[in-house]
C-alpha cells in the first residue's frame, strides 16, 4: 500500500509535543529537525513489509530538505507532496480540502488533525488520526493498515 504521513505535529513537534529520536552532532549542526520517537523503526518496518511511504504536508518545505532530513536518520521516503505540489496537481480543487490523498494514489493517510479526518469522511479517503499522547502510536498505525488491507 501507499501510506502518507503528515509532518507538523505528527512526526515533527510544534504546537503538539512528544518525545523525539536522538539527533547526532552532525544533525544538530545542520539544523535538522527532530522527529517523533519511533519514526525510524516504524518506517523501516512498513517498508520491509512492502509499503511505500509518502510525506504529505501543507508546509512549503522543499522536497529536497525533507528528503535530506529523513536520510540523516537513515530512512527514506518514496515521494514528497508539499503545498506547492498539492496546488499544482489539484489546481481549481486545491482549496476544497487541505489534503486530497486520492490525487496521489495514496491508500491511507496518517495525520494529527481532526479536520483531515472530517475531510476524509466527506471526500471518501482513509485516514488515521494520531493523538499526541498516544504512546503506542506506531501500533495504532499498524493496526489501522492491517484492517484497511482486509
Ligand atoms: Mg499536522
Q: Kindly report, residue by residue over 137-146, the tens digit of the pLDDT.
A: 999 999 999 9
CATH code, 2-149:
3.40.50.1000
Residue 149: predicted pLDDT: 72
What is the distance in A from the centroid of ligand 1 to the CA of 126?
Answer: 16
Contact between 51 and 1 under an 8 Å Cβ cutoff? The reply is: yes
Strands of the sheet with 2-5, listed across from one edge = 79-81, 52-56, 2-5, 108-111, 127-129
Distance (Å, rounded) from C-alpha 78 to C-alpha 54?
Answer: 6
**Domain ranges, ordered by start, for the chain:** 2-149
**Nearest 5°: phi and psi at 109?**
-115, 130
Distance (Å, rounded) from C-alpha 69 to C-alpha 35?
Answer: 9
At 86-119, the pLDDT tens digits run 999 999 988 889 999 999 999 999 999 999 999 9
Q: Is the dihedral of CA 68, 69, 74, 76 positive or negative?
A: negative
Reported pTM: 0.96
Cβ-count burial of 127 within 10 angstroms (0-12 exposed, 13-18 middle, 19+ buried)? buried
Question: Could you list which residues have their CB under 5 Å from ion ligand 1?
Answer: 6, 8-10, 112
What is the distance in A from the centroid of ligand 1 to the CA of 12?
Answer: 8
What is the distance in A from the centroid of ligand 1 to the CA of 150?
Answer: 27
What is the distance in A from the centroid of ligand 1 to the CA of 118?
Answer: 14
Which cell numbers hold the place of 118? Answer: 472530517
User: Across all residues in the chain, what is the average pLDDT?
Assistant: 96
What is the distance in A from the centroid of ligand 1 to the CA of 14?
Answer: 9
Distance (Å, rounded) from C-alpha 26 to C-alpha 35?
Answer: 15
Amino acid at each position: 500500500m501507499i501510506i502518507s504521513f503528515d509532518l507538523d505535529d505528527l512526526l515533527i513537534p510544534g504546537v503538539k509535543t512528544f518525545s523525539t529520536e536522538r539527533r547526532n552532532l552532525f544533525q544538530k549542526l545542520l539544523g535538522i529537525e527532530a522527529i517523533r520517537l519511533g519514526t525510524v523503526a516504524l518506517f523501516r518496518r512498513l517498508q520491509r513489509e512492502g509499503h511505500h511511504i509518502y510525506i504529505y504536508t501543507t508546509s512549503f518545505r522543499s522536497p529536497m530538505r525533507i528528503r535530506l532530513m529523513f536520510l540523516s536518520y537513515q530512512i527514506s521516503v518514496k515521494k514528497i507532496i508539499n503545498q506547492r505540489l498539492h496546488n499544482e496537481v489539484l489546481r481549481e480543487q486545491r482549496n476544497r480540502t487541505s489534503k486530497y490523498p486520492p490525487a496521489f494514489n495514496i491508500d491511507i493517510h496518517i495525520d494529527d488533525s481532526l479536520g483531515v479526518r472530517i475531510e476524509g469522511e466527506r471526500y471518501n479517503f482513509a485516514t488515521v488520526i494520531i493523538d499526541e499522547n498516544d504512546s503506542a502510536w506506531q501500533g495504532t498505525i499498524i493496526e489501522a493498515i492491517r484492517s484497511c488491507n482486509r
